[in-house]
Amino acid sequence: MAQLWGGRFQGKTDQLAWDFNASISFDKRLLEADVRGSRAHVTMLAKQGIITDEDKEAIFKGLDSIMADVESGKLSITTEYEDVHSFIEANLIDRIGDAGKKMHTGRSRNDQVALDMRLYTRDKVKETQELIIDMLKTLLDLQKEHIDTYMPGFTHLQKAQPLTLAHHLGAYLEMFKRDALRMKDIYKRMNYCPLGSGALAGTTYNLDREYTAKLLDFDGPTLNSMDSVADRDYLLEYMSALAIMQMHLSRFSEEVIIWNSNEYQFVTIDDAYSTGSSIMPQKKNPDIAELVRGKTGRIYGDLMSLLTTMKGIPLAYNKDMQEDKEVAFDAMDNALNCLILFTDMLRTLKFNKEVMQKSAMNGFTNATDAADYLVVKGVPFRDAHSVIGRIVLHCIDKGCAIDDLDIDTLKSFDEHFDNDIYDAISLKTCVEKRLTIGAPGISAMEKVIAVNEKFIEDYKI
């Protein structure tokens, strides 16, 4: 058992207790972050005269050799070690001797792991930002392509009013824009360096925490050593943002699944993102969309697990906080995979324009426009609403659309109808006369597309 403590102990740790306590099986992915933090810490120690430049260079060479051997497979990270920190330090001491024992001067595992997790999460936030921007670019391209692709809009999963595919996709574009902005907020709030906080009360060594923070591209050091080692807010914020993003992906997946059904046939999913049935040869299942939807509950569970872990912990560090890693890693891995796969699937979707347009022409999606027509003619809206409701009931009975009724039949319901009603409730008119910003009319959509282009162009990662 390679560990960083033991002088105070006489007995041997029980093997089951050791295994239960150890985190090496999952925190080994923090290897690069730990080495990055150690190099910054050692650089600062040498600058402050706490260790010599010779010791610094020896430590650097030792760390480089460890990383090289791990990457090549020559050195394995095994359960012989308690955690990634003891793995690095034990191997460093084996390679360079006493100089390796000086690396941990002025540092605790508490502020060390707080730094490692923050560095790792910060990298993941940046990666998430990049993937969301890729999603936004994909949606923007589809908006431009489908600015005049008509489809029904739904409320309560019933046809409501006609709109365009560009407009429908624009709703998701707005969601993912908010996701991108949340990532930017999280990055700004979390970008402070906890290293130098020690176990909980700082250190008596003359550390230059501002310098360490600068070396690691932080905006500055954290300002309370107890909070520094006990804080996981940044992780909770990120996981919460991932959960919200996943909810957006799940809603989008649900719609793709519905649109892909035999009853809708709005889209055809590429073979690369579908699977078949072991018994029914005709089946082509939207498995990727279904899995994205299914992973959402798992990511919610990861968030709730960490919230529950943190809710009863007194200051400062407690071993419970080791439980942050597995759930956080699980949420990160699954959410980012979902984002990548869904974006790729979206790029390859075939939208069946004729089917979508035909669907928009059925189901009385122009009923509101028919009521608005009467209002323009001077009929009070509530009366117009009632008239159109009776006409819809009549059409259901006759198995036809409002457009199919002749002018005499329409006039029998209300004398204000005239021949211009047919143009007023045509699919093209219903969509394109909606020109307020945020509506599906072409000129309104062109303005929004320009805004979205600027958002993507100006977004700084």
Q: Which residues are catalytic?
A: 156, 277
Q: What is the rounded CA–CA span in Å between residue 36 and residue 55?
A: 17
Instruction: Name residues whose C-beta falls within 8 Å of residue 373's C-beta, 6 or more positions apart in sequence.
Output: 384, 417, 421, 424, 425
- For the four alpha carbons of 126, 129, 131 and 133, in that order, the dihedral sign comes to negative
Q: What number of residues does the chain have?
A: 461
Closest CA to 192 of 224, 236, 149: 224
User: Distance between CA 235 and CA 318 in Å, rounded?
Assistant: 16
CA–CA distance, 264 with 241 (Å, rounded to integer): 32
Contact 136, 176 (CB under 8 A): yes
Using only C-alpha atoms, the chain has a radius of gyration, in whole angstroms, of 30
376, two tokens = 């323009």
**Position of tokens 């204000």?**
416
Please enumerate, as own/partner, the contacts of 347-350 that have beta carbons within 8 Å and a separation of 24 or more: 347/138, 348/269, 348/270, 348/272, 348/273, 349/256, 349/267, 349/268, 349/269, 349/270, 350/267, 350/268, 350/270
Residue by residue, DSSP assigns 264-331 as T--EE--GGG-B--SS-TT--B-HHHHHHHHHHHHHHHHHHHHHHHHTTPPSS--GGGGGHHHHHHHH
CA–CA distance, 90 with 103 (Å, rounded to integer): 11
